[in-house]
Amino acid sequence: MSKDFILPDIGEGIVECEIVEWLVAEGDAVKEDQPICDVMTDKALVQIPAVHDGVISKLYYAKGDIAKVHAPLFAMDVDGEAPTQSEEAQAPAATEAPSETGEHLEDFILPDIGEGIVECEIVEWLVSEGDEVVEDQAVCDVMTDKALVQIPAKYTGKVKKLYYQKGDIAAVHSPLFQMSIAGQSAEPDVSSAVVKAQTNAVTKSAEKSAPASSATKQLNKKAVASPAVRRKARELDVDLTQVPGSGKNGRIYKQDIEDFLNETPSQETQQQAAPKAAEPAATVTAVSGGSRVEPIKGIKAAMAKQMVASVSTIPHFTFCDEIDLTKLIAMRSELKEQYKQQGVKLTMMPFFIKALSLAIKQFPVLNSQVNDDCSELTYFDDHNIGMAVDSKIGLLVPNIKSCQSKSIVDVANEVTRLTEAARDGRVSPDDLKGGTISISNIGAIGGTIATPIINKPEVAIVALGKLQHLPRFDAQGNVISAAIMQVSWSGDHRVIDGGTIARFNNLWKSYLEDPAKMMMAMS
């Protein structure tokens, strides 16, 4: 069966790319994961692989052409597949649809949404069958075993069919939903008609929703918006928590931001929202002896497997200590406002990460990985330091790449970017791969001592406890108030012994307790 390969999202904000080189020709037999072509975006050169075994039946572009994201790139006859009776029966209907109704029915093919991802769970449909949608409007949220991903519409039109229910598992490269695109036909020479039809669809949709939106817009404390909308809000310096959303569950669209900037929300709207928030919850009759079963899926399932593999194969040992952060806190307080004016959010985490990287230079075994049978140890030049983030979809550990070559300001910017992405559950797969050592800031929630589980195949992890102001003795024997943080290390006892981690911790601690020493080590 001939199947189109849909060019997936190959980078944030990338909508097209140039065909640099075809690595195959029409008629060639290819294997799964075999490179098909090189494409150039405005950010990088990307190689596109085959996702099935088969024979290339058509290349839709020539070398040097500009290919569109979410459009067919090439077609191939997939080995072992043949058209089903339903597909053969649907083909004439789909062909006749444009001529009879002036509408073109098109399936949205679920694209590659991460390396190695072959399926995902439908978390929430943000539209219903029959709804009018505009290009780039969010259609649904899906959950992979790595992140929460939002799927946008690529055309303006009407949703005809949703192929899955909430909670179902959708397969990559299969139809996710079907749209009716007004004014589009099978002929390729009707681009002007498509533009006109799309414009009319947007106008009608806006006219239809205008009176209702003012009454149904919802203001949420936790802004619900896509990454593109959040980016626009940052560019316009708009606080999304103050923007009423016109979408389902108060979801915010770009138009909502523009409306918010054009006119301040009326006092009447705010007064209407207040009583709703203050309404008491419906009385629920208590029922004893009940239970419910929830499947463990997505991020939680992946974390469960990872933790079991780590505990069952790595002999953990824990080392605890306390660090006096009084001087570091004072230095950060002096610099915080200065860097805030430059758009840099200077928290304590960048200092912990940079000090860790400096200490690794003298103890490279902390930045290594051991193979499964413990016969080889691989040392890494790059310090890719991970941060465990408690996101709304579960535990994520994105990592900052090459910390050894970054300044504290560079690290701070990466901490902010990754933390925001992780809390929204939208970290890219590249940010989750390649970590070499991890930090868990459990103290941000509470607690002082922990026994963290190593993020296999790494060999060490440290948990930061909460900051406490405790009485301590100074050099003269006087009792003073010191900013104390407890830290808990877990190490892989196959390659790290207690003395090594104690000496490593002492060096890391010395950088944090004496910031001047850390600055000198960076020079």
Catalytic residues: 493, 497
Residue-wise burial string across 444-460, b where 16 or more C-beta atoms lie within 10 A, e elsewhere:
beeebebebbbbbbbbb
| Residue type present at position 128 | S
Q: Which residue, chain included where needed, has tokens 């002007």?
A: 192
Strand 437-440 with 385-391, pairing: parallel
Instruction: Say how far apart CA 210 and CA 297 lie, in whole Å.
Output: 39
Angle at 305 between CA 304 and CA 307, to 5 degrees: 65
Q: What values do phi and psi take at 321, rounded to 5?
A: -155, 170
Answer for the pair 421, 443: CB distance below 8 angstroms, yes or no. no
Q: What values do phi and psi take at 473, rounded to 5?
A: -95, 135
The DSSP secondary structure of 99-145, one letter per residue, reads HHHSEEEEEEEP---STT--EEEEEEESS-TT-EE-TT-EEEEEE-S
Measure Cα distances from 442 to 303, 330, 449, 465 in Å. 17, 22, 9, 6
Q: In sequence order, what are the beta bridge partners of 322?
A: 486
Q: Token pair for residue 32?
A: 């799964």
Strand 16-22's sheet: what is its strand order? 45-49, 35-40, 16-22, 66-68
Cα–Cα nearest to 138, from 129, 148, 125: 125
Is the CA virtual torsion 405, 410, 415, 418 positive or negative?
A: negative
Residue 290 has what DSSP assignment?
-
Q: Token pair for residue 60?
A: 């839709």
Instruction: Say how far apart CA 61 and CA 419 lie, in whole Å.
Output: 39
Contacts for 217 with CB less than 8 Å, ≥ 6 apart:
244, 245, 246, 250, 256, 269
Q: In sequence order, what are the beta bridge partners of 16?
A: 68
